[in-house]
Structure 1
Amino acid sequence: MDKQIITAAIISALEAKLSIALAATQRAIDAATDEETVPEHKYDTLALEASYLAHGQAMRVQECEQELNVFRNLKVRSFEEQAIAVGAYVELEDEQEVLKRFFISPCAGGLEVSYQNHPVYLLTTLSPLGKVLKGKLEGDEVLLSIADKSMTYQVVTVR
């Protein structure tokens, strides 16, 4: 298992996310400063709304840049015979014997990348599943309870 390939895929996905955020920010700025958005009366809030959108998009760009910076500086290490923590690649098997793959991430939870033609999901230790996985070892069983639904997972692989 080569986690360098996974982190490279994550960096690529984060770069694409940043590119989209930058384009959206520019469109929002253009809309906020367009002559068409100049208020015609005191109840015309189009320009104000466009400026709020531009500000929100700029904050999104900052978040994307921070996530990208975190992954560019992430030290990849092996987790064989070690407890699950940030940087671990984890394979879980659910009750229906379906294998799911996760990369325990410091940020960007929910992002999906592909590794060996399989989806790998970024999972932070702040997420419900990340919280129950933290500190577990290969072979452990974990129970995830959200609202009135419970799922049991077997930790198959930790690398």
Structure 2
Amino acid sequence: MDKLFLQKQVLERLAEDLLQVEEAARQAHEAATHEENVAENKYDTLGLEAAYLATGQARRAEAIRQTMANWRRFHPHPYNASKGIELGALVCLVDSDEKQQLLFLGPNGGSMKLVSGAEPIQVISSETPLGRAMLGKFEGDEVSIQIAQIRQQFEVLRVH
């Protein structure tokens, strides 16, 4: 599995998200500054609400830009069996029901599902509970996480 191709897919998806958020911010800004939305009394808050929305969308756009910068600087390395799972690892986990899942451990902000061939791949950050639990593990090790009252356990089948 080509990790650089996965990284490229993440960046493409983030670029699409950025375009959508920038368009939403532009529309909200236009609504906030449109002459028909000037407040006529203290209860007329349409323009103010649009301004808040535009500000939130602008912040979201900046967060996506920062995430993209992190993913551009990210260089996934081949798996080093002496170090265990690190950032950039492609990990196959299996749960107690024998259900397998493929995870790509990347920098923050890129949580999404990708498809490579016919295989779905979940991109997760090392900051997530599962990402943190996998760090330093080796093939054959168990990974366990507690979410609320539920404990989930997995076995590391393969790492690339």
Question: Shorter-normalised TM-score: what interval?
Answer: over 0.9
* Contact persistence 1:13–1:113 (CA under 8 A): no
How well do the aligned residues superpose, as a CA RMSD in angstroms? 1.3
* Contact persistence 1:37–1:46 (CA under 8 A): yes
TM-score (norm 2): 0.93
Which residue in the other structure is 2:86 paired with? 85
Matches of 2:76 and 2:107 in 1, distance apart? Answer: 12
> 1:14 and 1:109, CA in 2 relative to 1: closer, same or farther beyond 3 A?
closer
Q: Which moved more, 1:101-110 or 1:26-35?
A: 101-110
Instruction: Report the 3-state secondary structure (helix = DSSP H, G, I; strand = E; otherwise coil) of the residue aligned with 2:97.
Output: coil
Which residue in the other structure is 1:107 paired with? 108
TM-score (norm 1): 0.93
Matches of 1:157 and 1:5 in 2, distance apart? Answer: 19
Q: Which amino acid aligns with 1:87?
A: G
* Contact persistence 1:80–1:158 (CA under 8 A): no
Matches of 1:126 and 1:69 in 2, distance apart? Answer: 17
Instruction: Report the 3-state secondary structure (helix = DSSP H, G, I; strand = E; otherwise coil) of the residue aligned with 1:139.
Output: coil
Tell me by how many angstroms 1:76 deviates: 2.1
Q: What fraction of aligned residue pairs are identical, expressed as a percent?
A: 35
- Offset from partner CA, 1:131-158 (integer Å, 9 cap, x none): 2111111111111211111111011121
- Written as runs of structure 1 = structure 2, the 5 A alignment for 1:9-158 is 9-81=9-81, 82-158=83-159
* Contact persistence 1:9–1:114 (CA under 8 A): no
- Listed as ranges, the gaps of 5+ residues in structure 1 are none
Tell me by how many angstroms 1:117 deviates: 2.1
- Structure 1 segments, 4+ long, off by >3 Å, are none
* Contact persistence 1:105–1:125 (CA under 8 A): yes
What is the aligned residue count? 159
Tell me by how many angstroms 1:8 deviates: 1.2
Matches of 1:118 and 1:30 in 2, distance apart? Answer: 42
Tell me by how many angstroms 1:75 deviates: 1.1
